[in-house]
């Protein structure tokens, strides 16, 4: 087992030695931000995009991080070395406004920060066969572009999906699809990809940004244009993206098949391009579908 290593400035400790003050603002207010970065074969994927987004989130919530981007790059690289990560993994990092007496007003204290590495195999079977999803009203706040710790609505939606035997919950505001509980979502119709524009109502996903590049390289039209839950039922293909789910086909929504009920050709092309972009030597296309 790879032990999670907690990172505070330049200190690494075993997970069993971590002590958190009870008056920590992340615990009491959800007053913090986070990132999840994918690691393939011991190397970070899209780390620049993730770190840039962390700093954007910090600026949006007026949180001063205790390091520069360059220093964080170095520390996260050291974290992989300490954990001897050589395969597929993920790194979770979190920053909060610090520890102080409970008060809604910002305290004059240093931020708290930690990160850990955890072995995380690729979800080969789901990537190969596709997953089911349900639809749920999007009841979150209006600043979803900030990757904050305030995730209770996301948690409830994800739990509802699990209880209905699905992998993910597709969220919508008045029938307009925004994203999923922990991923971005797309439909394909007549060879064209559509996904919600980058507004404050969705997270500006790092894999999402890469999909835009991959689609352009493959000459696949991609429109950042909102669509409805009815459009989902008429789609030729539907897929989601996230750092841990990669490019995941959705083959069933609310108990109904998406088109033929199997991963479609556009999704497969993007999956293959993603693997090549990430430098993966083992492909899901070596598996029997």
Q: How far is CA 246 from the centre of its chain?
A: 9
**Burial class of residue 189, CB neighbours in 10 A (0-12, 13-18, 19+):** middle
Q: What is the DSSP letter of 148?
A: B
**CA–CA gap between residue 248 and residue 284 (Å, rounded):** 12
Query: Whole-angstrom distance between the N-terminal and C-terminal Cα of the chain?
Result: 31
- Strand ranges (DSSP E) for 86-203? 89-96, 112-119, 131-137, 168-173, 176-180, 184-189, 192-195
**Sign, Cα dihedral of 26, 30, 32, 36:** positive
Question: Is there a catalytic annotation at residue 260?
Answer: no
Please state whether beta strands 131-137 and 168-173 pair in parallel, antiparallel, or not at all (unpaired). parallel
Q: Which helix (H) or strand (E) holds 143?
A: none
Phi and psi for 25 in degrees, rounded to 5?
Answer: -70, -25
Q: Which helix (H) or strand (E) holds 267?
A: helix 265-277
Q: Which of 86, 147, 252, 260 is catalytic?
A: 147
Annotated catalytic residues are 147
């Amino acid at each position: 087992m790879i032990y999670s290593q907690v990172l505070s400035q330049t200190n690494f400790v075993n997970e069993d030695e971590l002590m958190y003050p009870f008056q920590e603002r992340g615990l009491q207010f959800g007053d913090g931000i986070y990132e999840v970065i994918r690691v393939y074969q011991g190397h970070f994927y899209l780390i620049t995009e993730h770190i840039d987004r962390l700093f954007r989130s910090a600026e949006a919530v007026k949180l001063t991080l205790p390091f520069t981007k360059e220093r964080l790059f170095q520390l996260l690289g050291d974290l992989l070395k300490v954990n001897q990560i050589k395969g597929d993994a993920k790194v979770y990092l979190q920053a909060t406004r610090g520890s102080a007496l409970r008060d809604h007003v910002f305290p004059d204290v240093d931020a708290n920060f930690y990160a850990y590495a955890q072995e995380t195999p690729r979800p080969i079977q789901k990537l190969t066969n596709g997953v089911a999803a349900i639809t749920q009203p999007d009841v979150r706040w209006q600043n979803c572009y900030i990757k904050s710790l305030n995730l209770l609505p996301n948690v409830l939606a994800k739990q509802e999906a699990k209880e209905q035997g699905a992998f993910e919950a597709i969220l919508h505001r008045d029938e307009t699809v925004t994203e999923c509980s922990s991923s971005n979502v797309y439909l394909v119709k007549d060879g064209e990809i559509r996904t919600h524009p980058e507004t404050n109502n969705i997270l500006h996903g790092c894999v999402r940004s890469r999909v835009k590049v991959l689609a352009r390289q493959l000459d696949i039209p991609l429109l950042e244009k909102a669509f409805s839950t009815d459009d989902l039922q008429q789609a030729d293909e539907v897929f989601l993206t996230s750092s841990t789910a990669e490019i995941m086909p959705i083959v069933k929504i609310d108990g109904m098949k998406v088109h033929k009920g199997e991963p479609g050709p556009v999704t497969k092309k993007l999956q293959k391009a993603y693997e090549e972009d990430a430098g993966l030597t083992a492909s899901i296309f070596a598996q029997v579908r």
